[in-house]
């Protein structure tokens, strides 16, 4: 937690930048979902809604590079 405070002290512009990018992405995503839904493009709607928000790439990364647990019985 101390590292986070040091990071914020060193880069005070980082939090507003990340917040702005999140809002920017959310607006474009909402617009795209609205358009896909109104055009009855179910495949695009699902791709935008599920794949984009489900964190597929991090999940794949964590599964592929997880530590192999040693069995202790």
Cα three-residue angle 38-50-53, rounded to 5 degrees: 115
Alpha-carbon Rg for the chain, nearest whole angstrom, is 19
Model confidence pLDDT, tens digit, residues 18-61: 888 888 888 888 888 889 999 999 988 888 888 766 666 667 77
Cα–Cα distance, 25 to 34 (Å, whole number): 14
Contact 47, 54 (CB under 8 A): no
Contact 32, 51 (CB under 8 A): no
pLDDT band at 11 (very low <50, low <70, confident <90, very high): confident
Q: How far apart are the first and last CA of the chain?
A: 35
């Amino acid at each position: 937690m101390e590292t986070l405070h040091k990071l914020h002290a060193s880069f005070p512009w980082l939090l507003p930048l990340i917040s702005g990018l999140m809002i920017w992405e959310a607006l474009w995503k909402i617009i795209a979902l609205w358009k896909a839904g109104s055009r009855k493009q179910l495949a695009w709607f699902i791709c935008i809604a599920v794949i984009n928000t489900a964190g597929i790439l991090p999940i794949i990364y964590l599964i592929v590079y997880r530590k192999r647990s040693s069995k202790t019985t």
